[in-house]
Structure 1
Amino acid sequence: MQSYILDDLGLSDVGGSTTDGGEWFEVVYSGITSTSAHTGPWFPAYKAISQCNMLLGNLDKMTLTETEKKWVKGQALFIRAKTYFVLVQLYSGVPLHVKEVKSEAEAAKPRASEREVYDQIVADLEEAQTLLPSKYADNLINGKQYAINQTCDALLSRVYLTMAGNPLNLGTEYYTKARDKSLSVINSNTYQLLDNFAHLFDLKHENSSESIIELDFIQVDEQGTAMPCFMAPRNSTLAVNTWGTMRLRKKFVKEWRMATCENGFNITNNGDGSTSITEIPGEEDYRYQTSLISEYTNKSGAKVTCFPKIGWQANDKHSNYAFLSKYCDPNGVSQNGHGNNVILMRFAEIYLIFAEAQNEIAGPVTEYQGLSPLAALNKLRERARKANGVQRTFPKKSKRNF
C-alpha cells in the first residue's frame, strides 16, 4: 500500500511536511538515506512479489480448474508487474526475483538494470493479458480490485510511455506501443468517463465505470486505509488523526488556475518581505473547484479557510497550505479504518497517454484511427465543462492551450 501511494503522490507538484512527511518528504526532495524510513515501501513491495512467486511456483499443486488456474496466474503476474513498476520508478534498477526464494543465497541478488526490470514488467503483463477474462466477474461485489485483460493493456500503455522517455529514452517505437495499447483500451468500450468529475473520489461512487483498477477499503479498523490521515489538513475533522502531510505546491496551484480558469490571482506585497495571494473571482474549471479543500472545520469547531481562497496568512482561521480533497472520510472509524478506495488507474489517464504518445509521434492534430491528441484531451475538457449538470465555458478548448 505504501509503495502504491508513493507511486501516486511522489510527484514534483506535491510537497510534504518535514515533521510528518517521513518517506513522503524524502522521495519528493530526494533525501533518501541508508537508514531511511523510506524502506517502509520496499519491504511490503517485496513481500507482495514473494507471495506472487510462491503462488506461481505452486499453482499446479492446487485443486483448481484450468480456468481458475489461468485466472489466479493472471492476477499474480499483474500484481508482480505493477509492483515492480512502482519499485523501478522509485528506486531505479532493483533486485529482480521471478521465482520463489528458498534460501538467503537466493535472496541476495544484485540490482538488475532498469531495462531488465522493465522488460520483465512487459513480459508479465503480456502473459497476464492472455490469461485474464475480458470483463469483470458478475459474482465479485467489488470487481475493480481485480485485473482483466484490458487492465493489462492499460498498464502496458503507461509502462510503454515511461520506457519511451527518460531515462531509457526508447523513443518512437515505444511511443507507438503506448499509443496502440491506449487506443485498444479506448476502443474496447469497457470504461466510460463519469459525467460528474466530483464523483470520482466520492465514497458513494466507488468502483465506477471510469475506474480501471482500485484498491478496496471499508470503514472497519485495520480493513480500511490511512490515506485521509496524510491528505487532510492537520487537526481537521475530515478524517481520524489528520496530519496534513501531503500538500500541493503553491506554484502548481497558481499555474493550474491560470491555465484553466477565467481569472488568476491578486498578488499583494505585505511590506515585510511576504506577499498575499488571493483568487480573482470568475468562472472556474470544475476540476480545480472540486479538487481543492477551500474550507474545513478543525477539532475545536472553528472554520478554517485554506490557500488559495485566502492569502499568505497562517493562523487558527487560515491555512497557508493547499490540500487535495481526493481522500476525505469524516466517518472513518480509526486511523486504518477509512473507507476510501485508492484508484490505481482510471480511464481519463488512458486518453492522456494516447494524447502524449500520438503528439510525440505526429503532433497535436494528426489523427490516428480517427482520434487526434487534441481530440483526446478535449474529451476530458468537455467532461469538466459539464460540471455537475451546469454547462461552463472553462476550461477552454484550443490547440494553443494544448
Structure 2
Amino acid sequence: MRERLLILCIIMLATAFFGEMKVNPFGGSFRFSLGIAAFFFGLIWFQSVPVLLTGFLTGTFILGFRVALDVLVDYRTVADSFFVHLPSAFYYFSFSLLIHLIRARKYLEFPLLLGLVGASVDFLSNVVELQVRQMISDTPLLTLESAFILLFFGALRSFFVVGLYNSVSIRQVRAVAEVRQQELDRLRMINTELYEEAFYLRKSMTELEEITRESYQLYTRLRESEHEESPTALTIAEHVHEVKKDSQRMLAGLSNLMNQEGLSPQLPIAELCGLVIRANQKYAAMLGKEIHFHFNCHVKLSTSQIYALLSVLNNLVANAVEAISKKGSVELIVGLVGRNVVFHVLDSGPGISHEEREWVFQPGYTTKYDAQGNSSTGIGLTHARGIVQSLQGTLRIVHDRDATTHFKVQIPTDQLLRKEVDS
C-alpha cells in the first residue's frame, strides 16, 4: 500500500512539473504540454496502480496545483483560476477513463498499436477538454485545422512515450539478462570445481573397489590356511567397503549439486572458451596484473562435456595468468584438426625449462609459492591431464621459446559430443 501511494505521488508530481512545459496553440488557456507524456508513461510503466484512481487523483491535483500557482504568481482570484483550469482536470479524467475502457495495458507487447491507442485517447481527451471550455468560456469551436493539430500533437506525445517505454524496457531486459548470464557463469564455475572433485572421487572409488576385492581374496586365502589373522583381513575388507559406500553417497550429492536448473546440458565451445577468458580477466584484475587476453575459436560445435573442458582450460589459463609477473598476454586458440578439437593456450610468462617439462605433470610438483612461502598443491596440471585422458585426449607442452609457454590439448570430437555418464 505504501509503495502504491509513493508511485501515485510520483506520477502526480511529474505530471504537474512537466505540465508547465507548454505551448498555447489557440491563444487561450488551452495548452499542449509534456504533462500527459509523464502521466501516460506512469500508467503503462507502473502497472500496479489503478488507472481510474490515478486519473482522478492526478486531475484533481493538477487543478489544485495550477490554481495555487496562479494565485501565488499571477495574483488571480481562486474562483477565476478554478474555472480556467477545471477543463484540464476533465482532460485527465477522460484520458484515464478511456485507457481503462480500452484496456491499453494489454497492448504493451505491440508498440505500434499502443502508440495508435495513445494518440486516439489523447485526441478524444483534448476534444472533451475543449467542449468543457466552450461551456464555461468563449473558447472557439473545434475546426478541421485545430482537429488536425490535436491529432498531430497527440500522435507525437503518444509515440514519444511508447518509444521511451520500449527503450527503458529493452535496457532493463538487457541488464537482467547480463545479471542472469553472470549468475550462470558463476554456477558453471562452481560446477567445474565440483566436477574436479567428482572426477577424482570416481577414480578413488575404483581403487577402493580393487582394494576391497584384494582384501577379501586375502581373507579367503588366510581362512583356507587357517591363519589366525584371517578375521583381521575380513575386517579391513568390510571397512574399505564402508568407505566406498560413503564415497558413493558423496558422489551422489555432488551430482545433484551439479544438475542445477537453468544450466543447459550443452554449450557451444566458443561460448565455453569465452567464459574461461572472462573468468580469468577478473582473476588477473584481482591480482593487479595488466594482461591482454586474445581468443580465437574456429569451431562451431557444442559440447556436453562442459565441466571437463572448463576444468582443463580454466586450469591452463589460470596458470598462465599466475606465471606472468605484471604485464603480458594470454592467448586461447581453438581449431579442428581431422577428427580432433585442438586447444592451444599460450602465455608470455617466463616459460618452462626443459628440465621442468618432465616434472610439471607429476603430482605435488610446483613452482608457485604464496607471500608466506607456502607452496601450492601442485596437482592442477595432474588433474587437467587426468581429465583429458578420460576423454581419450592428450595434454602436452608443444614448445617453449622466446619466453612463450605453449600447452596443447587435443580431444576427439566424438568424446566432446558424448553425454556425461554418472558412475
Provide the TM-score with structure 2 as the length reference. Answer: 0.22
Which protein has greater RCO, CA pairs closer than 8 Å, 6+ apart? 1
Higher helix share: 2
Provide the TM-score with structure 1 as the length reference. Answer: 0.23
- Kindly name which structure, 1 or 2, has the bigger radius of gyration based on alpha carbons: 2
